[in-house]
């Protein structure tokens, strides 16, 4: 008489060594990109109330975080500037200044820790007085083509400062092809483009807007250019266009609520896909940990593994340094 059951899937789960041996996905510090917020000044650290444990740093502090990333095995940092109010304008012209806060931080990082990759955000919301990612017309509509012209200049000054990856997060049509052509013409052949190809008009971005100083500035919403959360097939069309225009890698944003999009993009296109564990996702984990609803370390590692399981090559996360320490323990 045969034993019952013949197949016991629990056998491979019975011990730690066996679980490690049979793991289908792995998570290492090399899978992480660390978003950092830059502010003016010297020796400055400005804690962000809605992002507990996250701060804005002056350029010298950003360099220290770059060295920390290197020592932890984190391969890349992503920069987002908190532009002073007096430098914000309707046309976002500060984005084109080769000595703006972003470019100074890029140069300082590449001088101090050239082995750490630097990703820069290409969008106008940190520079506009109205908080939109592009230029607006008299009716308040974000205009596409004139915005794209400004984004080209923004990407070029960042590349010239030493950015390794430019990441357009604005969601204007056609901007990837224009930026790629400008980079090639400018001799920046090895500067990568990570396109925020599937960026949704999400309620999860609130703390980020605090961090870059744009909360309260926004007139209206961003639904005419960022994607509708109801749509998945449209995301695949966006990705196809951006790849055809020269994107090297693809971003899906937000992260956990859009893992189906990550999987669909990976399955359809078989290209490197990244996701952004955005500020609202981070804040929810922090709130859960603060009231004892979940263990922070376990929540961090489980959510990051979910991104890898869905098909991500890497994850932008404010937990990058914390997770790297956990993974190296």
pLDDT in tens, 175-196: 999 999 999 999 999 999 999 9
Catalytic choice (199, 222, 266, 308):
199
- pLDDT given at position 329: 85
For the entire predicted model, the pTM comes to 0.96
**Catalytic residue status for 266:** no
CATH number at 323 reads: 3.20.20.70
Structure tokens at 306: 């979910």
pLDDT for 104-135, tens place per residue? 999 999 999 999 999 999 999 999 999 999 99
- Does residue 265 lie in a domain region? yes
Evaluate whether 317 touches 277 at the Cβ level (below 8 Å). Answer: yes
- Does residue 9 lie in a domain region? no
- Does residue 52 lie in a domain region? yes
Catalytic choice (110, 222, 253, 308):
253
- Does residue 271 lie in a domain region? yes
- Does residue 120 lie in a domain region? yes
- pLDDT given at position 2: 64
- Overall size of the chain counted in residues: 329
Paired residues of 252 in beta bridges: 198, 275
Report whether pLDDT(51) > 90. yes
Q: How many CB atoms lie within 10 A of CB 50?
A: 17
- Does residue 191 lie in a domain region? yes
- pLDDT given at position 1: 53
DSSP symbol at 136: B
Q: From CA 184, how far away is CA 196, in angstroms rounded?
A: 20
- Does residue 241 lie in a domain region? yes
**Residue-range definition of the domain harbouring residue 102:** 29-328
For 190, residues 6+ apart whose C-beta sits below 8 A from its C-beta are none
Structural domains of the chain, count: 1
Q: How many CB atoms lie within 10 A of CB 257?
A: 15
Task: Write down the mean pLDDT value for the chain.
Answer: 96
Helix, strand, or coil (residue 117): strand
**Catalytic residue status for 199:** yes
Structure tokens at 116: 């750490």
- pLDDT given at position 6: 87
């Amino acid at each position: 008489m045969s034993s019952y059951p013949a197949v016991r899937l629990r056998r491979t789960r019975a011990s730690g060594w066996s679980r490690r041996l049979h793991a289908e996905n792995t998570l290492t510090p090399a899978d992480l990109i660390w978003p950092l917020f830059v502010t003016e000044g010297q020796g400055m650290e400005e804690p962000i109330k809605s992002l507990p444990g996250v701060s804005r740093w002056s350029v010298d502090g950003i360099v220290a975080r770059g060295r920390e990333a290197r020592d932890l095995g984190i391969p890349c940092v992503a920069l987002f500037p908190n532009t002073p109010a007096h430098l914000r304008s309707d046309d976002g012209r500060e984005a084109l200044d080769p000595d703006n806060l972003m470019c100074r931080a890029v140069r300082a990082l590449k001088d101090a820790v050239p082995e750490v990759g630097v990703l820069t955000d290409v969008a106008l919301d940190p520079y506009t007085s109205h908080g939109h990612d592009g230029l607006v017309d008299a009716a308040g509509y974000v205009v596409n083509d004139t915005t794209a012209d400004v984004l080209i200049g923004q990407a070029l000054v960042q590349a010239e400062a030493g950015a390794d990856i430019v990441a357009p997060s604005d969601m204007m049509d056609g901007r990837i092809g224009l930026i790629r052509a400008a980079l090639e013409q400018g001799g920046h052949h090895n500067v990568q483009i990570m396109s925020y190809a599937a960026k949704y008009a999400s309620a999860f971005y609130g703390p980020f807007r605090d961090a870059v100083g744009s909360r309260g500035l926004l007139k209206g919403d961003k639904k005419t250019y960022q994607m509708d959360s109801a749509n998945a097939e449209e995301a695949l069309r966006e990705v196809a266009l951006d790849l055809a225009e020269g994107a090297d890698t693809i971003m899906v944003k937000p992260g956990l609520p859009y893992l189906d999009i990550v999987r669909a993009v990976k399955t359809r296109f078989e290209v490197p896909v990244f996701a952004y564990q955005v500020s609202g996702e981070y804040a929810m984990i922090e709130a859960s940990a603060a009231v004892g609803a979940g263990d922070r370390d376990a929540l961090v590692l489980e959510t990051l593994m979910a991104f890898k399981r869905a098909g991500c090559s890497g994850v932008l996360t404010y937990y990058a340094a914390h997770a790297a320490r956990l993974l190296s323990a």
